[in-house]
A = this chain, B = another copy of it.
Amino acid sequence: MQSWSALVLPALELVAIAAFALSGVIEATRKRLDAFGVCVVGFLTAFGGGTLRDVLLDRRPFFWVEHQYVLVGVLLLCIVAISIMRRRHLQQTERMIQWPDAVGLGLFCATGVHLAWTLGMPWLVAVMMGVITASFGGVLRDLICNEIPALFKDHRPYALCAVAGGLAYALVQASPLPDWMAIGACVIVTTGLRLLTLWRDWRLPQWQGE
Which residues between 147 and 197 of chain A lie within 8 Å of chain B, taking CB atoms? Answer: 147-149, 151-155, 157, 159-160
CA distance A145 to B149 in the complex (A): 8
Question: Is the CB–CB distance between B144 and A152 below 8 Å?
Answer: yes
Which residues from 29 to 80 on chain A have a C-beta closer than 8 Å to any C-beta of chain B? 29, 31-38, 40-41, 51, 55-56, 58, 60, 62, 64-65, 68, 71-72
Contact B143 A143 (CB under 8 A): yes
Distance in angstroms between the alpha carbons of A40 and B153 in the assembled complex: 11
Which residues of B have CB within 8 Å of A88? 210
| B34 A207 Cβ-Cβ under 8 A | yes
Q: Is A16 part of the binding interface, using a Cβ–Cβ cutoff of 8 Å?
A: no
Residue of B nearest to A89 (CB): B209
Identical subunits present:
3
- A152-B34 contact given A29-B209, A86-B210, A209-B85, CB 8 Å threshold: yes
User: Among the listed B56, B58, B68, B155, which residue makes an inter-chain contact with A58, where contact means beta carbons less than 8 Å apart?
Assistant: B58
Q: Could you list 10 A-B pairs, sorted by A, with CB under 8 Å? A: A34-B207, A36-B151, A36-B157, A37-B148, A37-B152, A64-B125, A65-B122, A86-B209, A86-B210, A88-B210
A residues with CB within 8 A of B: 28-29, 31-38, 40-41, 51, 55-56, 58, 60, 62, 64-65, 68, 71-72, 85-88, 121-122, 124-125, 143-149, 151-155, 157, 159-160, 204-205, 207, 209-210
Additional A-B contact list (17), CB under 8 Å, known A37-B153, A51-B56: A28-B152, A33-B152, A34-B152, A34-B204, A36-B151, A36-B157, A37-B149, A55-B55, A55-B56, A65-B125, A68-B124, A72-B124, A86-B209, A87-B209, A146-B146, A146-B147, A146-B148
